[in-house]
Amino acid sequence: MLGNRLTTSHIFRDEKVCGMGLLEPGATVWKTGRTTGQTKGKVNDVGVIIWKDGFTTEEVAVISSFSGSGSSYFADNGDSGALVFCMANSLEAVGLVVGRSESQVPRWVAVTPLWAILDDMKLMTGMDVKFCTEC
């Protein structure tokens, strides 16, 4: 991304990310990751993840649409932190890739909703954190 614009190598060619959206079940989402490149997936459901350190979080599962350049998965090792976005009325940021399942089928990716990240930032800093929505 360059500012709030996606790079020219992306299918949305210089579209602006114009706000923050929600990860709705059944919605189609995209991301561009370091390992798998540009991929498309389908939002499945919300699940609770218990990480190796025992910390519990609520994440959204995204199922692969098998359209990646580096693999046939929505995300893989090295893609953590990739911005996940959807196209509603405009291009909207909806979350960040944080992990993936170990199983091969069905292969799902854990995505933290962007609203939860911003809420946590407010809790930790005591400051309102807003997503830039200049369009």
Mean pLDDT of 108-129: 89
Q: What is the pLDDT of residues 53-63, one digit of tens each?
A: 887 777 898 98
Is residue 61 within 8 A of residue 28, CB to CB? The reply is no
Matching CATH number, 17-122, of 3.50.50.60, 3.40.640.10, 3.40.50.150, 2.40.10.10: 2.40.10.10
Q: What is the pLDDT of residues 28-83, one digit of tens each?
A: 999 888 888 888 899 987 776 767 788 777 789 898 875 444 457 888 889 999 99
* Residues in CB range of 94: below 8 A, 6 or more apart: 20, 21, 22, 23, 29, 84, 85, 86, 111, 113, 114
- For the cut 70, the answer to whether the pLDDT of residue 2 exceeds it is no
